[in-house]
Structures are given as C-alpha cells and as structure tokens.
Structure 1
C-alpha cells in the first residue's frame, strides 16, 4: 500500500510540473507564430488546466481501465466547482466581469444533461464521443467570437496569462519535457491508484471519482487561491468552467471515440446528477452582482464535503 501511495504522490507531482510546462511552451510557441495573445490566452484558459486529467484518462483507457477514467473525468468537474472554486472564493471574493461565462455555464449544464441521457443505455458509443468533441469545438468557437467584445481590462488579464519567453528552442524543450512528465505522471498515478484500490476497498470507478480527481486538482486549487487573492476572479471562474467543459466534452468524448465506454447504472443515478447540481449552483451565484463571496465559497465547499462523504458511504454500503 505504501509503495502505491508513493508512486501516486510522485505521479501527481510530475503531472503538476508537466501541466505548467506545457502551458508555458504552448503559450510561447503561439506568440512566436503570431497568434493573438488574447486568443491564445482564451484557448489556454479553456484547456490548459485539464491536460493532466486528459493524460491520466488516456493512460487509463490505454490500459483498459475506462471506469477509472470515467470517474476521474466526472469527478474532476465536481472537484473543480466544489473544491477549487469554493476554496478560492473562501480565500477572497471573486468579482466576475467576463460576460461570456454565463452562456458557457449554460453550455456546461446542457452538456451534462446530454451526456447523462446518452449514458442511459449503459454505453457511450464512438459516434456519440465524436459528437461531444465536435460540440466542444463549437463552444470554443462561440467563446472566441463573443469574447472579442469584452472590456479592455479583462482582455489585458487574459493576455497576461500567456506572457512568457517566445524562443523557439526553449519552448520546444518545454513541450518535450512536458510530454515526458505527463506520460510518466499519468502512468504513476494510474498504477498507484489501482494499487491503493484493494486497500481502500474502492473500485476503479470510485478511485477516479475521489482520490484521483482530488489529487490531480490540488495544484489548480493552490493556483486558484493565489489568483483570487490577486483579484483575478475572471481567470478563476473561467478556468473552472472551461476545464469542466473540456472534461465533459473532450475527455469523456475522446474516451468514447477511442473505445466505447460502459456507463454503470449507479453512475447515471448519482454522479451525473451530482455534477449537474454543482454546475446549477453557480447560476444564482453568477447572476445579479456577478460576485462569488466567502459565503458562496463556503456553500460550495460544504456541498463538496457532503458529496465526498456520500460517495464514501456508498462505497461502504
């Protein structure tokens, strides 16, 4: 058990380092190739923080452990909203000026319902997976189009996210290092988690939902708290909604496109509804004053703890 825990922890560290390196490398190359700093930043906000989860899930699917990957993808969305956003808002109130986030939240809610309906027959097919990935491309195009009219202050904040050196050699090295870190990090996390499963009495599906989803989110939680204290509420909420859409449409869709994914009946009854409820909780919070205060952060954190305890109770019964 202790060896598995050690590999799991090492894998999480490598994923965190790999995620940071790939964002910097991609940012630098995009700027070097003449991409708009605003557009590059917007794309990276949407997908950058989900790349470690994608690496873990691809490795799990490649190993034939699709249930762990499915649990991680959906569990990550609950962790993103309940833990990451809750902890950030509790650390400092989040002021949200990014007007495109409201329709993107609507897309997240609609996408969660659609994926749950697709899973009612117990399977996500390749065609359905490809459809989900195309839906993400459409959502990203919508975000790029509608975010051009945002305030200059918000554009400057997003552009600052891509600020890095643009040397060809440096950024190619960054990407190579990131690829190695993400590969070995994903391998160690999956192997370590599956080794911990018997000791914890957890199935691969629940391993993905709880320890893997929470562990891979910890660097993002720390970054979100730091950004909240700097007054970057738009980036925190943008990361959470963008990453959740990426997990739902690209990670889950990509898994199904590679190989049809079996969806347990219990998953349709509990985990999908939970993911929908967590996203739905943001609707009243982001309407009106577009501000997430400490009270809202506390509510999200309490809901997350309640969900985790419920999942643990289900495991034991």
Structure 2
C-alpha cells in the first residue's frame, strides 16, 4: 500500500509538471503558426487545464479501466466547482468581468442534464456520445464568436495569459517533455489507484470519483489560489467552467462515442445532480455583483465537503 501511495503521489506531481509545460508549449506553437494570442488564450482557458485529467482518463480507457475514467470525469467537475473555485474565492474574492462565463455556466448545466437524460436507461450510446462531442465543437464556435464582445481589459488579460515566446524548437521541446510527463504521470496514477481502492475496499468507479478526481484537482487548485491573489478572477472561473465542460463533452462524450458507456444509477441520482446544484449555486454569484466573495466561496467549499462526507457514509 505504501508503494502504491508513493507512485500515486509521483504520478500527480508528473501530471502537474506536464500540464504546465504542455499549456506553454501549445500556446507557443499555436502563435508560431499564426494563431493570435487572444484566440490561443481563449482555447487554453476552455480546456488547457483539463489535459492532465484527459491523460489519466485516456490511459485508464487504454488499459480497460473505464469505470475509473468515468468516476474521474464526474468527480473532477464537482471538485472544480466546489474545491478549486471555493478555496480560490476564500483566498481572495474573485472579480468576474468576462461576459462569456455566465452563458458557459448555463451550457455546463444543460450538458450535465443531457448526460443524466442520456444515462436514464443505464448506458450512454454511441450516437449520444457523438452529440456530446458535437456540443463541444459548438461551444468552441460560440466562444470565438462571442469573444469579440468582451471588454478591452478582459481581452488584454487573456492575451497576457497566453503570450509566450513563439520559438519553434523551444515549444516543440516543451510539448514533447510534457507528453512524456503526462504519459508517465497518468500511468502511475492509473496503476496505483486501484491498489489504493482495494486497500480501502472501494470500487474503481469510486476511486476515480474521490481520490483520483481530488488528487488531479490539487495542482489546478494551487494555480487558482495564486491567480486569485493576482486578481485574475476571470482566469480562475474560466478554467473551472471550461475544464468541467471538457470533461462532460469530450471525455464522457468521447468514451461513449467509442464504445457504449454504462452509467451507474448512482451517477444519475446523486453525483451528476450534485454537479448541477453547484452550477446553480454559482450562477447568481456570476450574474449578481460580478464577484465571488470569500463567503460565497466558503458556501461552495462546504457543499463540496458535504458531498465527500456523504460519499464516504454511503461507502461505509
């Protein structure tokens, strides 16, 4: 068990390092080949921080651990909204100026509801998975179309986030190193997580839902806290909402499009509805005074802790 925990922690560290490197490398390569820093920044906000989780889920699917991948995708969304955003707001109130975020939060709620509806018969089919993937493409088109309406200060912040030196060899090296780090990080996490779960007496699905989802959220949490202290509330909220949409539309949609994906009844009745509740809790915070205060962050965090406690009680 000690060895499994050692590899699990090592895997998380490698994923964190790889995620940071691949974001910088991808941004540099995109700008090297003509993409504007603004568009590159939007795309990175939309799904850049999801790449470590995608690496874990891809490796899990490759070795036949589909339950772990599903649990991680859904658990990560709850952790994004309750843990990452909640603690970031408790660190420093988040000023939200990006107009895109409110409609994207509505889309997140609709996408979560769609997954619930698709899974009412116990499985998300290939066509339903393809619908989710199409939803992600439509989301990207919407982001690029609506981004022109953003305030100049917001646009400047997105550009500043994405700007990096567009040196080809440097960004290729960053990208290749990141791929290696993500591969081995995902490998160690996926190999060790079931051993930890067996020691705790829980299924691979719940391993993905709790320790893997929370563990892969920790690097993003650290980055979100730092961004909150710098006054980059748009970046924090954008990453959280974009990452959650990516998990639903690309990860779950992609798994189902590749092979019909069984969806446990508990996910339809508990975990996915919890994600919707957190989205609905966040919506008035974004639409009201355009900030997520420390008190509101504490509410989100308490809701997250309540969910974790409930899951543990149900396991027991």
Structure 1 length normalisation: TM-score? 0.98
What CA distance in whole angstroms lies between the structure 2 residues aligned with 1:265 and 1:100? Answer: 33
2:53 corresponds to which residue? 53
Residue 172 (structure 1) aligned with residue 172 (structure 2): yes
1:1-317 equivalence runs, <5 A? 1-316=1-316
What CA distance in whole angstroms lies between the structure 2 residues aligned with 1:43 and 1:89? Answer: 23
Alignment deviations for residues 95-136 of structure 1 (CA, whole Å, 9 cap, x no partner):
101011111111001110011100111111122112101101
For these two proteins, the number of residue pairs brought into alignment is: 316
Contact 1:58 1:255 in 2 (8 A): no
What CA distance in whole angstroms lies between the structure 2 residues aligned with 1:135 and 1:55? Answer: 21
Output the aligned Cα RMSD. 0.8
Contact 1:8 1:189 in 2 (8 A): yes
Contact 1:77 1:275 in 2 (8 A): yes
Cα distance, 1:34 vs. partner?
1.3
The ranges of structure 1 where at least 4 consecutive aligned residues each deviate by more than 4 angstroms after the TM superposition are none
Alignment deviations for residues 26-80 of structure 1 (CA, whole Å, 9 cap, x no partner):
0101111111111110001111100111111111111111111111001000000
What CA distance in whole angstroms lies between the structure 1 residues aligned with 2:185 and 2:127? Answer: 30
What CA distance in whole angstroms lies between the structure 2 residues aligned with 1:18 and 1:117? Answer: 35
What CA distance in whole angstroms lies between the structure 2 residues aligned with 1:296 and 1:265? Answer: 31
What CA distance in whole angstroms lies between the structure 1 residues aligned with 2:208 and 2:275? Answer: 14
What CA distance in whole angstroms lies between the structure 2 residues aligned with 1:24 and 1:266? Answer: 38
Structure 2 length normalisation: TM-score? 0.99
Structure 1, gaps ≥5 residues long:
none
